[in-house]
Amino acid sequence: MTKIYDLHCHSTASDGVLSPTEVVQRAAEQGVNVLALCDHDTVCGIDEARLAAKEMGIELVTGVEISTTWEGRGIHIVGLNFDKTHPKMTALLAQQKALREKRALEIGEKLEKAGIPNAYEGAKTLANGEVTRAHYARYLVQLGKVSNDGQAFKRYLGQGKSAFVKAEWVDISTAIETIQAAGGMAVIAHPLRYKLTGKWIRRLITDFKTWGGEAMEISGYGQTKDQRQMLARWANEFGLFGSVGSDFHFPCGWVELGKNLDLPEGVEPIWERF
């Protein structure tokens, strides 16, 4: 029997809505055999997820989604199968946590100027760990300022909007180096979601490969067949392994754990290197 892999999802340790236990339970219900929990810049959910995975009889891969800055843009690098207690990883995540807190406060100040007071406190009540923009988006929906999360990014939180704060995250090469120092592998997350042109995506993959990165996500949610094929071609052209992940954040009609994540033929799966 071929296994079902989902190597990218979120819990309440970052901006997911289900607890690590609930995510693992849901993954098991969906028939996932191997799951990586990849919360934003934190491994705080891993211990709980590992316990639940043991109980549910599924394999848990230690994961993280590191926010990086590349050419002035935010790019996400997933780390898989590493030692989460490695001092270099611990130091990097502590640094990212401090950056996130500082940025969250600045976003709150900008929202205040845009006529929405106490948004930091509001977003904080929705967060278990660090405040992300997703928590701000949910708070803005709760206030009735916007009708959904997407609108919150379009009106306030997205690049160039009134409450946008440019974050100086770690750079890609440091993220790769740290993941590898901790014994893991680095993956470019959702390459088609950065609104980059083909030329810029190729530039990103070239840099990532030059800095020693190992893999890129090929199969995710909401892709066309052509997009998946294009990503598969790039992975082969640049000599990268392929990964798959739903990027599940919460139960909804359009993203599900482990659903429709087959890796196209001819791409080398990253899990063969675990």
Q: Contact between 249 and ligand AMP (CB under 6 A)?
A: yes
Q: Contact between 100 and Mn ion (CB under 5 A)?
A: no
Residue 133: which of Mn ion, ligand AMP, none does it interact with, CB under 5 to 8 A by kind? ligand AMP
H-helix or E-strand spanning residue 242: strand 241-244
DSSP strand pairing (185-188 vs 73-80): antiparallel
Binding test (CB under 5 A) with Mn ion, winner from 4, 5, 12, 15:
15
Q: Contact between 133 and Mn ion (CB under 5 A)?
A: no
Minimum distance between the CB of residue 249 and ligand AMP, rounded to whole angstroms? 6
Q: Which segment (51-59, 61-69, 117-125, 233-241) binds Mn ion by CB under 5 A?
A: 61-69
Distance in angstroms (rounded) separating the CA atoms of residues 64 and 80: 7
Tokens of 238: 């640049």
Residue 202: how many other CB atoms lie within 10 Å: 15
Residue 67: which of Mn ion, ligand AMP, none does it interact with, CB under 5 to 8 A by kind? ligand AMP
- In 80-197, alpha helices (H): 87-113, 119-126, 133-143, 149-152, 172-181
Q: Contact between 247 and Mn ion (CB under 5 A)?
A: yes
Paired with 257 in beta bridges are none
Considering the complex, state which of residue 76 and residue 228 has its C-beta at the smaller distance from ligand AMP: 76
Let me know: does 122 contact 143? Beta carbons within 8 Å. Answer: yes
Binding test (CB under 6 A) with ligand AMP, winner from 6, 39, 48, 149:
149
Q: Contact between 214 and Mn ion (CB under 5 A)?
A: no
Distance in angstroms (rounded) separating the CA atoms of residues 189 and 8: 8
Q: Contact between 133 and ligand AMP (CB under 6 A)?
A: yes
Considering the complex, state which of residue 236 and residue 255 has its C-beta at the smaller distance from Mn ion: 255
Burial class (CB within 10 angstroms; exposed 0-12, middle 13-18, buried 19+) of 89: buried
Which residues of this protein are in contact with ligand AMP, per CB under 6 A?
15, 40, 67, 132-134, 137, 149-150, 153, 249
